A and B are shown apart, each in its own frame.
Chain A
Amino acid sequence: MNDQHKAHASIELIRRYARADAIAGEVLWSLESHLESCPSCRARLAKEVPGQAPPTAALVDRTWEALAPSLTTGPPVPRRGRLARLAGWTSPVMLPWVVGAALVAVLAVAVDSFFAVPGGRPLVLLLAPVVPVLGIAAVWTKSLDPAYELVAATPRAGLYLLLRRTVAVLAVVMPVLVVAGLTIGTSSVVWLLPCLACTAVTLALGSVIRLERAAVVVVTLWSLGVLAPGLLTSQLPVAVAPVAVPVWGAVFAVAAAVLILRARSFARV
């Protein structure tokens, strides 16, 4: 049949294909490559299947029955929202503490600009190095985080997560401190290195004693050694003078080394 449509398969051949009858190799080859490219021959084949190959027709129907329930679940996979991504960096309980730490810096600027003492010791300079420590104390404190055990049990727990949270705290606090430093016109290096050093010392100490205790120790030492003398006497404590910058650099390096060596201690509950 269909001599004018030589390119299409004969209905007899299509029926034999549907019945899974033996077909000569080169004809089978041509037929299969033709079926792949010809929608109308595929349609004719589909029409022949129920009559010529009832088992295949049943198989096709059965497969659809099995397939249908999976289709309702739908293809779209929910994408991670911005809020979910943020949760990898912070925990909700951190927020008040980080805001509190930032407020300390803001208040220090306010005090400095309203009660400026001629000749020196700006309060921002005295407070800046310990402000991030307040925030960091909050990021890994068991009593503050109701989900502490859950967090500690996640695969990412440990130093990695702690550093992420530290970065999150610094990202909030640092800009405030920089702006504060600029408004009172002091060099950022003078307080930036002590600030990083205090942060690193807190984390390193936190690997030995608990982090919140380490924060208390560092803040206390700073208050006694730098803040109190700075407020009580009239001269700038040597700790925040430009001379001390290399010392703070060394402290930061040592603390970072200790932190790396004791990295595993943060993975425990």
Chain B
Amino acid sequence: MKRKILLIVLLLAFIGYAGWSFADSVTPYVGIKEAKAATSSSVQVKGLLAKDAPAPHMEGKDFVFTLQDEETGETLLVHYHGTKPDQFDEAHHIVAIGKMQGEAFSSDKLLIKCPSKYEQKK
């Protein structure tokens, strides 16, 4: 009986832990306006590479570029902790995951969406 209780307590504790981890790692999908307000928790923000902004370049260990909201035209400076990803130049949309740090959006992960030559849009 004791062992059964121990087991149930362990399982419940784990479910609680999993729920907390879950709540902690949910990253909502937002536009650039909301992304600018995301200073405490991570978000995913989607945009186009801004045309009339400084060209994407390296600043120290960060790869820096500017995202532009497809609809509102608002822009967002992104500091990506890494080097220029493959297929960045051919990118149609870019999704950056991270949060605001000071003036810039600090991102650990980028998803590059290409107008794939190999998967034709119908």
A and B bound? no
**Which residues does B use to contact A, with CB under 8 Å?**
none
